[in-house]
Amino acid sequence: MVKQPMRAKHCQLCQHCVRRYDHHCPWIENCVGEKNHPLFMVYLSVQLVVLLWGGHIAWSGLYFKQSWEWLRHNIFLLISFLLIVVFTIVVLLLLISHLYLISCNTTTWEFMSYHRISYLRHSELENPFDQGVIRNLWRFFCSCHLTAWEKIYFHRNNEPV
């Protein structure tokens, strides 16, 4: 019966209350929230670099000839390259979508469940936490302190908090 902080959510999978809950990630088997979201972005970026490097290696190993003998010798490399392309597209789309959400200062949970979250449903603004793209990106990537979301939410002037 503890009062839940604004933008926090109790994760049903790991049984933790997470500040600025974004999502529960099956890849890292952990919740992504305020303290580890920048590291999750680094993780996605490194995954993308590794996949692009692997795709380059796989592509450089392919030399094309139109014969069944060529296909028999290169089928593993061809399938590997196609899988790398699929995973690269998935990681790239995840990275782009998270960068968009970060630039709007919203989370995946808030974006997907806007209509169910009371502080968003009753807000006069579309996103009460949005402080502009530059400030949102700065606070996400360069700020080391935890944000008091209640101050931003209840602040009615246009001055910075």
Given a contact cutoff of 8 angstroms between Cβ atoms, the answer to whether 83 and 54 are in contact is no
Which three-class secondary structure state does DSSP give residue 108? helix
User: CA-CA distance, 46 to 61, in Å (whole number)?
Assistant: 23
Residues 108-117 as b/e (b if ≥16 CB within 10 A, e otherwise) read bbbbeeeeeb
Please say if 104 is a catalytic residue: no
User: CA-CA distance, 148 to 5, in Å (whole number)?
Assistant: 9
Residue of 11, 25, 104, 144 marked catalytic: 25
Q: What is the CA radius of gyration of the chain?
A: 21
Neighbours of 103 (CB within 10 A): 15
Cα 142 off chain centre by? 17
Q: Which residue has the tokens 């169910």?
A: 116
Which active-site residues does the annotation give?
25
